Structure 1
Amino acid sequence: MGKNVLDALIDGDSKIINKVYTTNFPLVKKFVLQNNGNEEDAKDVFQKALLQIAVRHRKEGITIETSFGGYLFKVCKNLWRRELNSYKKRVTNKGIIELTSEYRDYSLAVMEQKRQELFVEKLDKISGNCKNILTLFFAKTPYKEIVATTEYNSESAVRQRVFKCKKKLIELIENDERYKSLIEI
């Protein structure tokens, strides 16, 4: 039957090809399913194997010494193993472990705490006047109230002072060695 099946593959004899499918596909499907595949994979492998056998027979005139079913199964097995090996070589993101929400939230909280500590530490290092002005500014105190509680006589003067003090604070923070590790990427 081997020679008839090979010729039927090339000639497209649907009667013999259907018999090959009904006789051999269940075994190939079982093998693929047992080896990390699904039914679609089995169909693909079976089709590729038939095509490969047909092309080889047309080009080389191969002869099959064993049963055609045994030969077909061996070809399918080899194709599926190659397919599995190619999966192993592909770089995928399945190995990347995403932080769960709880751990991610914890990590973000730690980073925020470290940023706050750096900010407070550097705020303490600037002059008393700047510290006072910036504390009021960061508390969202209106400029009119800042003028009333400080020695400045206009909102414009307070704005200029806030600008200069913020610039000094930013400089101190950015010049700290911890700053680069605390900025978001």
Structure 2
Amino acid sequence: MTESSRSHLSDDQLLAGLADGSDTLLEELYRRYFPMVLHLILNNNGTNDDAKDIYQETLIVLYEKVTTGSLELHCQLKTYLYSVSRRLWLKHLSARSRSGVTLLDTEDIANVDEDLAGHEARDRQFDLMADSLDRLGEPCRTLLEDFYIRHLSMQDITEKFGYTNADNAKTQKYKCLMRLKRLFFSVYKEE
């Protein structure tokens, strides 16, 4: 794809490319819209690195919405990206200062509260799961990581942990999974 053909892509084409995992179109999103976010962050007590972090998180929000089919754009893509970045930066600044924060805006904004609420809830669930895994202890933690993350077979797990057969390993995996579930939901329900 040539430079001139990329610059004529519509918002819908950019979103379709993002959903398909196109690195070229992801680079185009950076080329087009990162300068706008950089300007926002630099004009509101941020750094280059802050802008990169905020824009990365903004694109994650966009990617999640596009791939789940839940993105409903009622504005230009540029306005949506600016609004999400603005909201994330406001949240970052308010966490830093604990007092009310006002931004110097240079772009129109859209209401993205609902989109970010889902993103923040998922982040919180991932944090709770990581904490639950930490509290799970050994050998359950390693067994579950070996099976679900490292994709080891039950036979490999049987040999690694010294179980007498794969059925015993499956039983132990099930018990560990139930224990993890109890740990996770004991905290999750409190929230």
Instruction: Give TM class, smaller chain.
Output: 0.3 to 0.5
Q: TM-score, normalised by structure 1?
A: 0.45
Q: TM-score, normalised by structure 2?
A: 0.44
| Higher-Rg member (1/2) | 1
